[in-house]
Amino acid sequence: MYWVDLQGGTRAKKILQGILFSKRIANAYLFTGFDTAVKLNHARFFGKTLLCLKQGVQPCGECIACQKFEKGVHPDFISIEPEGASLKIEQIRQLKKSLNYGPNEGNYLVVLVDASDTMTPEAANGFLKGLEEPVKGVVFILLAAREEGLPLTIVSRCQKIVFGEEVASSVLGCDFIDQLEAVEAKGVVAKMDLSETLLQIEAGPGEVILSLIAEQGKRLRRITDQQDLSRGIRNMRLLFDAFRKTNLHLNNRLLLESVVLKWGREYETFSN
């Protein structure tokens, strides 16, 4: 696989290639944007390239490091994600123990932190200490929907890579943005400026709401508190209503509605 094979993130892809070409690797990167899959794929590919023994602009795919990465057994690639609804202090403490001595085999030890904006305050404070006292060769890649979900003290220590910002606002239309801002006022996605977020998504109105539904679905799966679960289900229903009001081509609409209804049936069972 090559950079060109990765979907989305056209501008971000060029920036990451430039970083690799210059060999000026920062201690921490923050990948922001709403498309979770695009961010994750680029983060993993960037990490694989750093670990590749050829040390080029993209991984060779043949060296022992690339083979270990593909098999998921490279000791210098660590990935953490939320346990339940958030990244917890215990996870950060365990992570820090793994980083004490830096890379095991190559020049870098890559740490991918998925959904970094779900860190609890205690976890964020613990993680910040690791950024303030970096271990040589350790490279953090944080993934977040928006940088505002993280403390400024962490954001300021990361090189920011924004995904999806090249999309023109004309793709969506003012009326649709107004509709979603009205939905936001009802509490669909807390603390999220939807009008700004929509401009970062490479999709039309229906696909945008579908992405919001998928993201909300992932959050619901991690929630254990009954009150939070009820709030999440209400938000999901509001998203369903917004989706049904979008003006899509009939074929696309039927396809997306089938997916939405599938989500609806799944999460309807949670409220019973």
Report the C-alpha gap between 45 and 42 in whole angstroms.
Answer: 5
Q: CATH 2.60.40.10: does it fit domain 3-162?
A: no
**b/e per residue 89-105 (b: at least 16 CB within 10 A):** bebbeebeeebeeebee
Q: Which residues contact 112 (CB under 8 A, 6 or more apart)?
A: 40, 43, 44, 47, 77, 78, 79, 80, 141, 143
Q: Please give the order of strands across the beta sheet that includes 109-113.
A: 77-80, 109-113, 138-144, 28-32, 159-162
Residue 93's identity, in one-letter code, is R
End-to-end CA distance of the chain: 45
Query: For position 242, what pLDDT does the model report?
Result: 59
Query: For position 112, what pLDDT does the model report?
Result: 98
**CB-based contact 182:198 (threshold 8 Å):** no
In the chain (272 residues long), the average pLDDT of successive 10-residue segments reads 84 90 94 89 97 95 96 96 93 94 94 96 94 93 91 94 55 38 41 36 48 59 60 62 52 46 47 42
| Among candidate residues 236, 194, 193, 195, the one with its CA nearest the CA of residue 218 | 236
Query: For position 269, what pLDDT does the model report?
Result: 45
Report the C-alpha gap between 147 and 151 in whole angstroms.
Answer: 8
Query: For position 172, what pLDDT does the model report?
Result: 34
Query: For position 188, what pLDDT does the model report?
Result: 39
